[in-house]
Homo-oligomer: A and B are copies of this chain.
């Protein structure tokens, strides 16, 4: 079971190809990166990638990283439905660590309640250096 990333069975061919590309990448990919990886499979146009990405993101199988204009496969394909997600992105190796924090989520909820703001979506992205890269540089 070398590459079981828990890919759902009801994806279209394009969606499956795009998610596969993200799953095998060690770092986030831009839509055009993905396109380049999939030309050999017959994909030719950016829109084919963007349309697949839209569906994958909608379903929570992939995430868009706003500060990179790039995408990653969800790190937790089984239970990531609920709540705020934060991403820690290493500037050195590109690796992304996806995590959730209930305290932060609750705190944002309280702020929204106080100000009467209705939250629809939150993006939280931390840029820096991961432990491995820091260690390697030392």
A99 proximity list for chain B (CB < 8 A): 111
Given A88-B111, A118-B129, list of 14 further CB < 8 A pairs?
A: A66-B66, A97-B117, A103-B104, A104-B107, A104-B108, A117-B130, A117-B131, A118-B128, A120-B127, A120-B129, A121-B126, A121-B127, A122-B127, A124-B124
Number of interface residues of A (CB under 8 A): 34
Determine which residue in A66, A90, A91, A99 has the highest number of CB atoms from chain B within 10 A of its CB, and name it.
A66
Q: Please give the distance in Å from A88's CB to the nearest CB on chain B.
A: 5
Binding site for B on A (CB under 8 A): 66-67, 86, 88, 90-91, 97, 99, 101, 103-104, 107-108, 111-112, 115-131, 134-135
Across the interface, do A122 and B116 meet the contact criterion of CB distance under 8 Å?
A: no
Q: B128 near A120 (CB under 8 angstroms)?
A: yes
For the complex of A and B, the 6 pairs showing the least CB-CB separation, nearest first, are: A116-B131, A66-B66, A120-B128, A119-B128, A66-B67, A118-B129
